[in-house]
Amino acid sequence: MIRKPRILVVGIFVMDLIASTKKAPNSGETVIGLNFRTAPGGKAVQCARLGANVTMVGRVGNDAYGRDTVAAASASGVDVSRVVVDAENPTGVSAITLEITETGAHNRIVVCPG
């Protein structure tokens, strides 16, 4: 019998805010994007999707991003019973600019842990 790995993830929940564009803006420049999406997830979700028993310990804000990231983790099979809701601080976000070029995709990421 093969046993599933048990993984404990201690970290932050982050909602990815992803804007795709043909050209990343230079300093002071504005460009038109191709599309925008949000993506909850992370290492805990990926481990659970690969079949591990995952428990996540962390904190989220009492906001929509907090509810969405915890719901996504739970829906993927992550045990979120040890996640705390913080009424005073926001859930973390990462602002991702995804530049799509002929040679591939290149990203620039700013993480605000919350």
- Is the pLDDT confidence value at 1 over 80? no
- Is the pLDDT confidence value at 42 over 90? no
Residue the block writes with tokens 């859930």: 91
- Is the pLDDT confidence value at 12 over 90? no
pTM assigned to the model: 0.87
Among 93, 114, 91, 98, CA closest to 18: 98
* 53-61 and 6-10 beta bridge pairing: parallel
What is the rounded CA–CA span in Å between residue 88 and residue 35?
A: 32
The distance of Cα 28 from the centroid of its chain, to the nearest Å, equals 27
Give the helix/strand (H/E) hosting 67: helix 64-75
* 14-21 and 79-86 beta bridge pairing: unpaired
